[in-house]
Homo-oligomer: A and B are copies of this chain.
Amino acid sequence: MHEQLIANIRKRVSVSPEELESIKHFFIPKKIRKRQYFLNAGDVTRHTAFVEKGLLRSFSIDDSAHEHVVQFAPEGWWITDMCSFLSGDEAVYNIEALEDSELLLLTKQAMDEMLEQHPKMERFFRLLMQNSIIALQRRIVGTLSLSAEEKYKRMMHLYPDILQRAPQQHIASFLGITPETLSRVRKQVSIGKQG
């Protein structure tokens, strides 16, 4: 149940088997079925989730009732509404399971205790966040500078896996284009490949 988590931690910091054993116990396993919501915008979440298995998405809904996918979280990724989790604010994002998923949940309190007992984990989370920032900055530039087709092609090589697993409407939303445009772009790209 904790394989992905352990691999995820080991990738960034060196921890002894004993430490890992202790760290594991701060997490609460939870299964969530496809289409179930892990978080509804407006609620306050006490948890941050590590995805052991499955796929989730976080998204906001704007005034025109359009959805905007903020993040996809497949195995090995973390997902929450950070503002709500850290500050107890009302969440602005919804989080939905796109597949039957297995999560490892961390409450704010458990996280603080864990960081207290295992200072190495401060470093772990810092490194994790550094990578997020790099990816988010790139996404902003991509959103501002690429055409619909370029955005799609970029996703093809950055996240080929998610492209296979997530419904196209959500991929379109993640890329900042409509499902119709994505459909046309896909046709275009597939013709370009064979022709």
Q: Contact residues of A with B, CB < 8 Å?
A: 60, 62, 64, 66, 68, 70-71, 82-83, 86, 115, 119, 122-123, 125-126, 129-130, 132-134, 136-137, 139-141, 143-146, 176
Query: Could you say which residues of chain B place their CB within 8 Å of the CB of A145?
Result: 60, 62, 64, 66, 68
Decide: A133 and B68 in contact? CB cutoff 8 A. Answer: no
Residue in contact with A137 in the complex, picked from B70, B119, B126, B141, CB distance below 8 Å: B70
How long is the Cα–Cα vector from A60 to B94 in the complex, in angstroms?
31
| Interface contacts beyond A60-B145, A122-B122, A129-B133: sample of 7 additional A-B pairs, CB < 8 Å, sorted by A | A60-B141, A62-B145, A68-B144, A82-B134, A136-B137, A140-B140, A144-B176
Interface residue SS majority, chain A: helix
Can you report 28 residue pairs joining A to B where beta carbons are below 8 Å apart?
A60-B141, A60-B145, A68-B141, A68-B144, A70-B137, A70-B141, A71-B137, A82-B130, A82-B133, A82-B134, A82-B137, A83-B134, A86-B130, A115-B123, A119-B119, A122-B122, A122-B126, A129-B129, A129-B130, A129-B133, A132-B133, A133-B133, A136-B137, A136-B140, A140-B140, A140-B143, A143-B143, A144-B176
How long is the Cα–Cα vector from A71 to B133 in the complex, in angstroms?
12
Query: Could you say which residues of chain B place their CB within 8 Å of the CB of A82?
Result: 130, 133-134, 137
How long is the Cα–Cα vector from A129 to B125 in the complex, in angstroms?
10
